[in-house]
Amino acid sequence: MDHNSDITDWEFALESIQQPIDMELDSGQYSSLAAPSPVHDRADVLEPFQLPTPPQSTSPPARAFLHQIACLRDYPASPSSTTVDELNENLISVSSAFFPNAQIHILPPDLLLLSSDAVYFYLGRNVLSDSSANAFNGLLSKPQSKSAHNMNVVFVPEHSAVLNIVLHTVYGVSCAHYAPAFESLSSAVTALAKYGFLPSRFIAPATPLYILLLSQAPLYPIDLYTLAATHDMYDLAVPTSSHLLSFSVDSVSDDLAERLGAKYLRRLFFLHLGRVDALKRILLPPPRPHAPTSACSFDDQKSLTRAWALAAAYLVWNAKPDMSVSTMVSTLSPLGKLLSCDICQEGLRSHIRNAIVQWSVTKRTI
């Protein structure tokens, strides 16, 4: 990097603290800008550098919503004496989705939210106040400090990963490209309720956060179902419950039962019990006998009835809400090997097909 390039970078960094950040930030990128230093022979002095923004395919998802810039207000007069520690102390992190010129809303930002891990979010005060039932948990009604650009600054005790999800939800845009962890999503739903945003309204079917949460159902079925039950999000609890057919209701602890609540715990128990009862009703009736022939009398057909009863009893004894069709077929189909009558074999195959169809259409959700 030549001398002219050093001066250009220094002037650009200085300008960044004298006016709002005027740069377009890609939501999937993370970049840094540091003050240059011409000193190269000291180990405690940061050498001049400018890190290029990495391509989106290599950007760490967990850091993708941050953008760090150098804040030079507290730097010494001579940039050559700037140390690594001093530079780190003057770096500020700004959301790459909610920055001054993000144009995420028709109105320009007039409020700064500062997360617990010191990340700044620029947004419109009216967007929060109009949607929140409690003035953002009362934070908007309290006296607020002013930034250098005369913006109100509100400290929010949530981590930036959680606050990022909350703000995306309030603004009605997806945050799926950040690949947030389930723990962050769960905390964000709790934070929505805390700050006066009704979860059942902002996490309705087809909304971005609803789709993102539902994608976690195969991995965290009971956790997501509990989250939906806690905030009475019935539309989310219903499709999630289909992933709980293999869940053992015997393992429900007192704490989990309390968080689920009586209504959703009852629905989960009834889903399991209802499917087991349905399986019994489907399997217990044996195949219908056919009219006796010279090769197969009523007494001959009793052997099929007894064999079916034994196989059905085995399945019913081990009945589970998530019993697979393949288990039923592998248990019942071998009965045909014991039959010499073609009519009996066709009747058995028809009875098995009918049982499979009935089990396939049995209700799988609360």
103-156 residue pLDDT tens = 777 777 888 899 999 899 988 888 888 889 998 998 888 755 555 556 788 899
**Mean pLDDT score of the chain:** 78
- Separation of first and last alpha carbons in the chain: 64
pLDDT at 92: 78
What does the alpha-carbon distance between residue 316 and residue 310 come to, in Å, rounded to a whole number? 10
pLDDT at 6: 42
pLDDT per residue as tens digits for the range 229-277 = 999 999 999 999 999 999 999 889 999 999 999 999 999 999 999 999 9
pLDDT at 362: 94
Does the pLDDT value for residue 338 go beyond 50?
Answer: yes
- Three-state secondary structure call for residue 110: coil
Residue 180 lies in a domain: yes
Sign of CA dihedral 159, 164, 165, 171: positive
pLDDT at 151: 77
pLDDT at 208: 94
pLDDT at 67: 53
Higher per-residue pLDDT: 318 or 29: 318
Contacts of 22 (CB under 8 A, 6+ apart): 100, 101
Residue 5 lies in a domain: no
Structural domain total, the chain: 1
What does the alpha-carbon distance between residue 183 and residue 319 come to, in Å, rounded to a whole number? 34
Residue 146 lies in a domain: yes
Contacts of 14 (CB under 8 A, 6+ apart): 72
Dihedral, 253, 255, 261, 266 alpha carbons, nearest 10: 0
Arithmetic mean of pLDDT, 332-360: 90
> With bands split at pLDDT 50, 70 and 90, how would you rate the model's confidence at 30?
very low
Residue 119 lies in a domain: yes
**What per-residue string of b and e applies to 333-364 under the rule 16 or more CB within 10 Å gives b?**
eebbeebebeebbebbeebbeebbeebeeeeb
* CA distances (Å), origin 204, targets 87, 169, 184, 239: 45, 11, 19, 13
Residue 164 lies in a domain: yes
Higher per-residue pLDDT: 199 or 5: 199
Does the pLDDT value for residue 158 go beyond 50?
Answer: yes
What does the alpha-carbon distance between residue 356 and residue 363 come to, in Å, rounded to a whole number? 14
pLDDT at 147: 53
- Three-state secondary structure call for residue 335: helix
pLDDT at 49: 35
Arithmetic mean of pLDDT, 86-92: 58
Dihedral, 121, 125, 131, 132 alpha carbons, nearest 10: 80
Q: Among the listed ranges 77-91, 93-107, 247-261, which one has the minimum average pLDDT value?
A: 77-91
Does the pLDDT value for residue 82 go beyond 70?
Answer: no
What does the alpha-carbon distance between residue 344 and residue 151 come to, in Å, rounded to a whole number? 83
> With bands split at pLDDT 50, 70 and 90, how would you rate the model's confidence at 278?
very high
**What per-residue string of b and e applies to 66-89 under the rule 16 or more CB within 10 Å gives b?**
bbbbbbbeebeeebeebeeeebee
Residue 284 lies in a domain: no
What does the alpha-carbon distance between residue 341 and residue 347 come to, in Å, rounded to a whole number? 10
Domain of residue 143, CATH code = 3.30.710.10
Residue 186 lies in a domain: yes
Boundaries of domain holding 167 = 91-216
Residue 53 lies in a domain: no
